Chains A and B, each alone.
Chain A
Amino acid sequence: MTAHRAQWKGHLKVGELTCAVGLYTAASTSERISFHMLNGKTGNRLKRELIDSETEEVVERDQQVKGFETGNGEYIMIDPEEVAAVMPESDKMLEAEAFIPCGDVDDVYFDRPYFLVPADEEANDAFTSIRDALSKTNSTAIARTVLFRRMRTVLIRPHGNGLIATTLNFDYEVRPSEEAFKDVVKVKVEGEMLDLAKHIIGTKIGDFDPGKTDDRYETALAALVKAKAEGKSLPKPKPVKVSKPNDLLKALRESAGMGSGSSGKPKAANANSGKKKSSTTSSKSKTTHRKAS
């Protein structure tokens, strides 16, 4: 039903309803500015070479094999192509195993989003029923299948007229937030401090369109390169002044005063500012810097 190429084709099953569907990449990653590696002494470009970690001899491609580490520098050799070949043919069935209320999903597990689309006209009825049942119950569906040569869990949720399936990271790939935050010193926040901070936030509540952010790093880097090439001395980064605990209340009071004074006009420099001009230049120049070796 779309001109794009499906990443995966199969069936979506919820309860007794089944329909033919396709998965399509919903997001791509643009490249960052990359540098070339040089030899500082000669100014020549660098190349990478693979060498034996012990004998230091160059290892040519046909001598390279894959292996798993069993510990203490011991390896089991293995042919990854055979591993891939042995994965059983998937039954190509995305079957909802469980449903999770939208608010209960831990988004930290999110990996990549895919548009989930009915494969043909015939699939439309079942597909729209699944979409609207999920949306009416404010639920997401959990399904598991062999995807891209791995057994992957995906989270399926309604989005516009279609569905989005997000692959989820495996349990061992995600560090739970409770664990990451367990050493944080507990500070009780109340009274005037909290009220002031709430007030400051209140003055800054607004709209935001994530699609309209540009990348200003490239422009800033180009300016730096120009200065260096012209032999100018580079500016030292200004030290950042940290609020001292004793001054925190004062800083909050001053901030709150500032906020109410200019409440009609939020200060510039919000995340969407300056979008028009630099977004076009940055996307254009993105292609001129190829990835370094």
Chain B
Amino acid sequence: MAPRRPYWKGYLKLSLVTCPVAMVPATSESEKVRFHTLNERTGNRVVSQYIDSVTGKPVKDEDEAKGYERGEDDYVILTDEDLESVELETVRTIDIEKFVSRDKIEWIYLDTPYYLTANDKIGDEAFAVIREAMKAQNVVGVSRVVLGRRERAVILEARGEGIVVWTLRYGDEVRPENEYFTGIDKKSDAEGVNALEKVIKKRTKNWSPEMVSDPIQESLLKLIAEKKKAKKPSKKTAEKSRDDDKTKSDNVVNIMDALKKSVQKELKSRKAG
């Protein structure tokens, strides 16, 4: 994957030590094969544009404004510059106020992971000091930061040469497990557990990204590559896509077959293994 532009730029702070940092999401949908919306008549991509709801006219980018609704049909326009003035330190500073051992944070609270690195030479050493001290103490940092107009609790975990930042779910976003787990016996059958422990030990493996491959994406990519090769590089025209009903249905049928095959293969290979 290509390096990405920072998603968030700001500062990392531990007591009186502050350094500039940048953050990127650890996950991205950019490599996923996606559907696009096309105009059936021309075969061109369809894009969205803003129009004024009263005049019905398209609105230029520079005239687009964000409105905060104070009351019905009563808006206060906020510019990006205005938003910079929100008086909350966590908008641009991750101040690590507390440290806890990693196992104190249940997995169910982990929401979205980001990678944090120093954003300027000036901060390289301070960043490294904070990171290495967390490793040495075997703890994760706890802080807050505003991301996407929400102030999130985050934990910071040193990993390799960087820090992984996890946003945590709010308390009301995690459903109460008791409502789901009531009625499940606390005790279990010792003999059954023993037998399963043997199965588990025999089939224990190391984590590998191969465990999260996507057979459907793989066959789609192959198929698209074939289509690309087969097709002339000429640009499609309205006439062509209209006359070309047969080609269209061929494409559809081929994709269906490929999908069906890849899923069945996957289900079968799993059974065998």
Contact = CB atoms under 8 A, between A and B. Distances in A.
Given A36-B75, A181-B160, A91 B267 contact: yes
Contacts of A33: 149-150
Given A136-B193, A161-B184, A237-B85, A88 B267 contact: yes
Contacts of A243: 16-19, 123, 126
Given A108-B164, A187-B125, A210-B171, A70 B196 contact: no
A76 B252 CA distance: 8
B134 A74 contact: no
5 contacts: A52-B44, A65-B37, A98-B205, A131-B188, A205-B100
A39 B63 contact: yes
A204 interface: yes
Contacts, number: 565
Interface string B43-68: 11111111111110011001111111
Contact of B162 (A40, A184, A236, A245): A184
Given A49-B48, A86-B256, A181-B162, A3 B179 contact: yes
Chain A interface residue number, banded? 35 or more
A270 B44 CA distance: 53
A240 B92 contact: yes
A217 B146 contact: yes
Interface in A213-227: 213-217, 220-221, 223-225
Nearest to A233: B85
Contacts of A161: 181, 184-186
Nearest to B113: A108
Nearest to B177: A160
A65 B248 CA distance: 12
B82 A174 contact: no
A2 B182 contact: yes
Contacts of A134: 200
Chain B interface residue number, banded? 35 or more
B227 A76 contact: yes
Contacts of B241: 77
A76 B40 CA distance: 11
Question: At the interface, is chain B mostly helix, strand, loop or mixed?
Answer: mixed
Interface in B88-124: 88, 90-93, 95-100, 104-111, 113, 115, 117-118, 120-124
A201 B177 CA distance: 33
Interface string A194-207: 10011011101111
Interface in A175-195: 175-182, 184-187, 189, 193-194
Contact of A46 (B14, B52, B217): B52
Contacts of A283: 172
Contacts of A65: 37-40
A160 B106 CA distance: 11
Given A213-B144, A213-B170, A53 B47 contact: yes
Given A151-B214, A200-B14, A133 B196 contact: yes
Given A86-B256, A95-B270, A95-B271, 4 more contacts: A2-B182, A40-B77, A64-B37, A150-B214
B214 A252 contact: no
A276 interface: no
Given A65-B38, A271-B143, A87 B180 contact: no
A4 interface: yes
A153 to B, nearest CB: 5
Given A115-B175, A128-B187, A194 B132 contact: yes
Interface in B207-254: 207, 209-217, 220, 224, 227-228, 231, 233, 235-236, 241, 248, 251-252
